[in-house]
Amino acid sequence: MWLRLILIFVLGVLFQLSVINNLSLGPFFNPLVYSLIILKLPFKTQNWALLIWAFVLGLTMDIFQNSHGINAAATVFMAFSRPFVINLLTSQRDFGDEDTPSIRDRGTQWYIFYSLILLLVHHFIVFILEEWSASGLGIIFLRSLLSAGLAFGLLLLAEYLFFVNKN
């Protein structure tokens, strides 16, 4: 279990740094897929552990991108909002110890809403801290919407490739 989570963490960061960040898709498409680990932590994860995971993840990205706390602030906020999103979307909450948010366990529609909301939160905070004053809120929002959409597409692909058919 631990091994798998650390693998997702490392692969997410590596994929973001070595592939996604080297693609030039123009100013509006800047997908951030490294946050996959926050989406995939088991339901039974303690809330404080969730925040620590997110903080370490964000700090790692900040070190590699020279972005000084931007990613850490965004991932911590994303982890903070995760329990609320789960509460919002799920009616019965008797999760098993090994249950993780996935299409296999919770269904496609649930997973789409869950990941899309959290990705949007994450992207929005990263972009608003990056821009700070340079351009209007409308542009930042459009940028987060398009980038989060693309990140969501990529993560959905990963979900179908790696997480659905594993028995």
Partner 1 sequence: MLNLFRFIARYHFFFLFLLLETISLSLYFSYNYFPQAYYFRMATSFHGTVRSKVAAVTEYFSLKNANRQLAIENAILRSSGSDAFLKVDTNTFWYHDTLYLQQYKYTPARVIANSTGLRNNFIMIDKGAFSGIKPDMGVICPQGVVGIVVAVSEHFASVMPLLHSASTISVKMKKNNELASVIWEGGSPDRASLISLSSQVKINKGDTVITSGYSLIFPEGIMVGTIDAFEMNPDDIYYSATIKLSTPFSRLSYVYVVQNLFKDEQKALMEKQKQIVPHNK
Instruction: Supply the Cα-derived Rg of the chain in whole angstroms.
Output: 15
Cβ-count burial 37-55 (b if 16+ within 10 Å, e if not): bbbbbbbebeeeebbebbe
Which segment (19-27, 33-41, 95-103, 156-164) binds partner 1 by CB under 8 A? 19-27
Which residue in 99, 120, 30 sits closest to 67, CA to CA? 30
Tell whether residue 129 is a contact of partner 1 (CB under 8 A).
Answer: yes
Q: Pick from 9, 43, 77, 152: which binds partner 1 (CB under 8 A)?
A: 77
Which segment (56-64, 90-98, 114-122, 158-166) binds partner 1 by CB under 8 A? 56-64
Tell whether residue 131 is a contact of partner 1 (CB under 8 A).
Answer: yes
Instruction: Work out how close the CB of 15 gets to partner 1 at its nearest, in angstroms, rounded to a whole number.
Output: 13
Q: For residues 76 and 56, what is the distance between their CA atoms, to the nearest angstrom? A: 9
The count of C-alpha atoms lying within 13 angstroms of the C-alpha of 102, restricted to the half-sphere facing its C-beta, is 20
Query: What is the binding site for partner 1 (CB under 8 A)?
Result: 18, 21, 23-27, 30, 47-48, 51-52, 54-55, 58, 62-70, 72-73, 76-77, 80, 83, 127, 129-132, 134-135
